[in-house]
Amino acid sequence: SYELTQPPSVSVSPGQTARITCSGDALPKKYAYWYQQKSGQAPVLVIYEDSKRPSGIPERFSGSSSGTMATLTISGAQVEDEADYYCYSTDNNGNHPNWVFGGGTKLAVL
Amino acid sequence: QVQLQVSGPGLVKPLETLSLTCTVSGGSISSYYWTWIRQPPGKGLEWIGYIYYTGSTNYSPSLKSRITMSLDTSKNQISLKLSSVMAADTAVYYCARTYSDSSGYPRGWFDPWGQGTLVTVSS
């Protein structure tokens, strides 16, 4: 089955740049999406189609993808960015694509 | 503003069938995919599957043998049934409206999400 691999945790100081990676074999051909989930809340989309930012998401959130790795970057991370982050994508099975979430990365800003 | 409300029993016995309903208000279920996602306590998100407004479905391979999704367009509801549940199925279950691309394929864009409901599998 298809898998997306994320680091379990990332830690930065306020104002630093946080980078969260997501590795998957189909990422060269499939978009990555990134969700932020704060404790007790439903996830919120912060990046779609590798690098696009939905309206209302701060400019400090950006995304990129190269080869089999997608990256979520938070430039100038703030305390309120502490959350779990999940990448989401699909495999290359055209008729019945298998969508998966990465295991999630807990971002600490302290 | 579209809102999703997930409802169903909070406690299900092992080997029984979990049944949840996602009721859409403020909009129609037409023209969208509707995805079910779950999250075991303290763990990550898991894609369960989706149903298109036409009724076509796509399920997670790991759950496919136990899942049924359906629509009731007259009630603007999407339903999830998961049979033969076990303790590992204990999770918060979410439904989410899912956008499609220009070719009609689902994108990974979920908005909005339902509030999520905790279903515990226990005797």
Is the confidence at residue A1, as pLDDT, over 90? no
CB-CB under 8 Å, B44 with A88? no
Written as one letter, the residue type at B8 is G
Is the confidence at residue A92, as pLDDT, over 80? no
Task: Read off the pLDDT band of A99 (50, 70, 90).
Answer: very high
CB-CB under 8 Å, A86 with B45? yes
The chain A residues in contact with chain B (CB within 8 A) are 1, 31-33, 35, 37, 42-43, 45, 48-49, 54, 84, 86, 88-90, 96-104
Q: CB-based contact (8 Å) between B45 and chain A?
A: yes
Q: How confident is the model at residue A97, as a pLDDT? A: 86
| Segment B58-100, tens digit of pLDDT | 999 999 999 999 999 999 999 999 999 999 999 999 999 999 9
What's the mean pLDDT in A60-71? 98
Q: How confident is the model at residue B76, as a pLDDT? A: 95
Average pLDDT of the residues of chain B: 96
What's the mean pLDDT in A49-71? 97
How near does any CA of chain A get to the CA of B74, in Å? 27
What phi, psi does A73 have (nearest 5°)? -120, 130
Q: How confident is the model at residue A95, as a pLDDT? A: 74
| Segment B94-118, tens digit of pLDDT | 999 999 988 888 899 999 999 999 9
Q: How confident is the model at residue B19, as a pLDDT? A: 98
Q: How confident is the model at residue A94, as a pLDDT? A: 74
CB-CB under 8 Å, B111 with A101? no
Torsion from C-alpha of B54, B55, B60, B66, nearest 10 degrees = 180
Task: Read off the pLDDT band of A93 (50, 70, 90).
Answer: confident
Q: How confident is the model at residue A82, as a pLDDT? A: 98
Q: Are B108 and A33 in contact (CB under 8 A)?
A: yes
Q: Which of B61, B108, B111 sits opposite A89 (nearest CB)?
A: B108
The closest alpha carbon to A107, from A41, A35, A45, belongs to: A35
* Long-range contacts of A63-70, Cβ-Cβ distance < 8 Å, separation of 24 or more: A63/A32, A63/A34, A65/A27, A65/A31, A65/A32, A67/A27, A67/A28, A68/A23, A68/A24, A68/A25, A68/A27, A68/A28, A69/A21, A69/A22, A69/A23, A69/A27, A70/A21, A70/A22, A70/A23, A70/A24, A70/A27, A70/A32, A70/A34
How far apart are alpha carbons B49 and A98 in whole angstroms? Answer: 9
Q: How confident is the model at residue A42, as a pLDDT? A: 96
Q: Which whole-number Å values give the CA distances from B114 to A43, A96, A107, B23, in the listed order? A: 10, 25, 24, 9
| Segment B6-23, tens digit of pLDDT | 999 999 999 999 999 999
Q: Which residue has the tokens 């439904």?
A: B95
CB-CB under 8 Å, A104 with B45? yes
Task: Read off the pLDDT band of A40 (50, 70, 90).
Answer: very high
Q: Which of B61, B109, B116 sits opposite A42 (nearest CB)?
A: B116
